[in-house]
Amino acid sequence: MTRVEFYNQNGRITGFCCSGHSGYAEAGADIVCASVSTAVSFAESVINDVLGARAKTKVNESEARVTLMLPASCEDEDAIQAVLTGLMLTLCDLRDEYPDYLEVLEV
């Protein structure tokens, strides 16, 4: 199962950690894993490359883990929060469709 934890501090999403393999299908045919990977990659690109937030991103392929943490403050905070909220909503919709393969938590 893939697990995504969104870190929330005083109503501000400060980052997320996505880990594990969904187990929906074999590698290369796993639509749940592909959907999660695409959404996470898109969010990271918008936050760092488009909005210039300089969020710390760590990828550990051997553990199937991606972590993104925002700096204490960002210039375009509203846009960044919109991207992270959109990511969370997208993953929650996916979780509702595939509850045995994806878990989304706000911690």
pLDDT digits (tens, 9 = 90+) for 61-79: 999 999 999 999 999 999 9
Q: Could you tell me the pLDDT band of residue 40, with boundaries at 50, 70 and 90? A: very high
> Cβ of 98: how many Cβ atoms within 10 Å?
16
What mean pLDDT value characterizes the chain? Answer: 97
Query: Whole-angstrom Cα distance, residue 94 to residue 3?
Result: 12
State how many domains the chain has.
Answer: 1
> How much is the pTM?
0.95
User: What CATH code is carried by the domain that includes residue 75?
Assistant: 3.30.70.1490
Query: If 0-12 CB within 10 Å is exposed, 13-18 middle and 19+ buried, where does residue 4 land?
Result: buried
Question: Mean pLDDT throughout 18-29?
Answer: 95
- Confidence (pLDDT) at 27: 87
Nearest Cα to Cα of residue 18 among 83, 82, 64, 70: 64
Structural domain for 42, as ranges: 2-106
